[in-house]
Amino acid sequence: MAKRIDVSDLNVYYGSFKAVEGVSMTVEPRSVTAFIGPSGCGKSTFLRTLNRMHEVIPGGRVEGKVMLDDQDLYAASMDPVTVRRTVGMVFQRPNPFPTMSIYDNVAAGLRLNGVKNKKTLDGIVESSLKGANLWNEVKDRLNKPGAGLSGGQQQRLCIARAIAVQPQVLLMDEPCSALDPISTLAIEDLINELKNDYTIVIVTHNMQQAARVSDRTAFFNLKATGEPGRLVEVDDTTRIFNNPSQQATEDYISGRFG
Amino acid sequence: MSTVTESRGPADGVTPDTTPPGGKGGRDVLREMDNPHRVRAVKDVVAKVVMWFAFALAMIPLVWILTTVVAKGVHMLGSATWWTGNQRNINSDDFGGGARHAIEGTLEMVGMTTLIAVPIGIMTAVYLVEYGRGGLARAISFMVDILSGIPSIVAGLFIYAVVVTTFGLRQSGFAASLALVLLMIPVIVRSTEEMLKLVPNELREASYALGVPKWVTVVKVVLRTAFSGIITGVLLGVARVMGETAPLLILAPYTKNFQRDLFNGNFPTLPMMINQDRGDLALPAAAERMWGAALTLILLVLLLNVIGRVVAHFNAVKK
């Protein structure tokens, strides 16, 4: 199910502002890639270009190429809606649909895209909730509002919702930054399981988290405020944290700045 | 003990044993600090009194109107034919008859108005919040502002000019509905707009990230989340037009008969029934009818409000 992402020489703009410059990297399938870096270095912006979510913000556009296996995500014939069905996303703050029950939240992606068969939905809702390690906690109250869950449960609900549409890639934008340590642990365990089936890209501010969950780590930085963010280096996580090839990476992970 | 507590005590003149920071002036500073406490407390009480007074003042006309209308109109509502009869062949000084023709007429006319104004209003608001960028959106927003400032009689005259003068059609309930549409649209656009803006952007993004197209997101997520608020806005609009009289004076002359046809001829409505009897207030029968119709109109608006609130409650965002 998982696919490889190949980015070559990508620039991201908001209007005339260049937010990210010259990123080239490969994201391996069935692995976890972490993006780390100081605030404003463009790692979230870059993440959003992987499923064209940056286009939701007025003026957002890219130059360069993003390939998902052999599909060009920015080909003229490529519909952003199709891209987002293939590349799912989990956000910083848990955002279940407040009008929907737990069941409806998980089924939302399918229902809103026209799947009506009750049996199909039941099956996918159950397997997605199980996949998100939430099934046992909510199986007796599937019809209760999703907003009534705890923050950590809500985030796992959002993960269940994202994997219910069976994407190839799962993007996570600081998925634990609004959660307590216990819920964070639950999510990290979940990421570890999910990487057997999905390509996972996670943005995190927490370097320990990057070290714990990821196979590869990409370090982003910017020269100064107002300058575009750049990819400094991407390598195996153990290498980045033990023996990075760039001085800036070394400085960042050892806490000398950022 | 600290100098602060001492200087706050009743023996205000006592010199603190340590000089407070700031040297000689420090004592004065402390004394000044003492005062604002009392000043603040006084200000608080004054503000409270003013607030309650203003509240009471605002309530006086409301309570007054309600008690007057209820006191003078309530026995009409209990009369045998009020909810079933009309005013056919009943002269100003005759008792009897009912208001059913006017109740039906008002509901029918406002129903037609709502049917036209709500889709236009909601879709305009959706355009302004979800799609509109730049000049066109600004122009539309400006037009809505102007529309909301149009006096109802001008709306009536405009429709008269279009429907009667230009197209040569007769005055009718439907013509009056069209004028009411002009009055209702801005109310609905503005309130719906506010409700749509309250829907967090994260929900839209969550939906897009699931590969849901924008229009489905707007219909199934944004409008659904804002639904109960939109209902409230529609009710505001209905309440706004239900008692409107000026356009009816121009476009829908009163009739004492049952008249269910919106498209032909005179049309009975509660505001026009009130207006009819207003001229003969010296006659007890007419006065009675007028108050009865007034109370009925208030009850109608209240009833729609309650229904709307129940609907909104059951569709509200669950916590």
Per-residue pLDDT of chain B (319 residues; tens, 9 = 90+): 344 444 444 444 444 455 545 455 556 666 666 666 788 899 999 999 999 999 999 999 999 999 999 999 999 998 888 999 888 888 888 888 899 999 999 999 999 999 999 999 999 999 999 998 889 999 999 999 999 999 999 999 999 999 989 998 888 999 999 999 999 999 999 999 999 999 999 999 999 999 999 999 999 999 999 999 999 899 989 988 999 999 999 999 999 999 889 898 899 999 999 999 998 888 989 999 999 999 999 999 999 989 888 888 888 775 5
The b-or-e profile of B56-68 (16+ CB within 10 A means b, else e) is eeeeeeeeeeeee
Residues ≥6 apart with Cβ < 8 Å to B272: B102, B245, B248, B249, B252, B253, B254
Distance in Å from the first CA to the final CA of chain A: 36
Q: Measure B206 CA to nearest chain A CA, in Å.
A: 7
> Considering only alpha carbons, which residue of chain B is nearest residue A144?
B318
Q: Which residue from B202, B205, B216 is facing A112, i.e. has the nearest CB? A: B216
Number of separate domains in chain A: 1
Determine, yes or no, domain membership for A186.
yes
Half-sphere exposure (Cβ direction) of B270: Cα atoms closer than 13 Å? 26
Is A210 part of a structural domain of the chain? yes
CATH code at A177? 3.40.50.300
* CA–CA dist A98, A75 (Å, integer): 35
Residues of A in contact with B133 (CB under 8 A): 58
Report ipTM for this prediction. 0.91
B205 closest CB neighbour out of A82, A88, A91: A91
The mean per-residue pLDDT over the stretch A195-203 comes to: 94
Q: Can you give the residue range of the structural domain that contains A129? A: 5-253
Contact: A81, B212; criterion CB under 8 Å: yes
Provide the edge-to-edge strand list for the sheet that holds A32-36.
A71-72, A60-68, A5-14, A17-27, A229-236, A216-222, A32-36, A199-203, A169-173, A87-90
What is the three-class DSSP state of A35?
Answer: strand
Separation in Å, CA of A244 to nearest CA in chain B: 34
Pick from A97, A154, A159, A165 the residue to mutate for testing the B interface (most B CBs within 10 Å).
A97
Six token digits for residue A66: 């993003």
How far B218 CA lies from chain A's nearest CA (Å)? 11
Residues of A in contact with B131 (CB under 8 A): none
Q: Could you give the angle at which helices B223-242 and B284-315 cross, rounded to 10 degrees?
A: 180
Interface of B with A (CB under 8 A): 133, 200, 202-213, 216-217, 220-221, 224-225, 227, 315, 317-319
CB contact under 8 A, B202 and A82: no
- CB–CB of A109 and B210 under 8 A? yes
Rounded to a whole number, what is the distance in Å from the CA of B308 to chain A's nearest CA? 18
Distance CA B319, CA B314 (A): 12
**Count of CB pairs separated by less than 8 Å, A with B:** 81
Q: Where are the beta strands (DSSP E) in A132-238?
A: 169-173, 199-203, 216-222, 229-236
Assign domain B100-315 to a CATH class. mainly alpha
Q: Would residue A222 count as lying in a domain?
A: yes
* Stretch 220-239 of chain A: residues touching chain B, C-beta under 8 Å: none
Structure tokens at A152: 């950590």
Tell me which chain A residue has its CA closest to the CA of residue B202.
Answer: A95
* Within-domain flag for A258: no
- CA-CA distance, A100 to A88, in Å (whole number)? 20
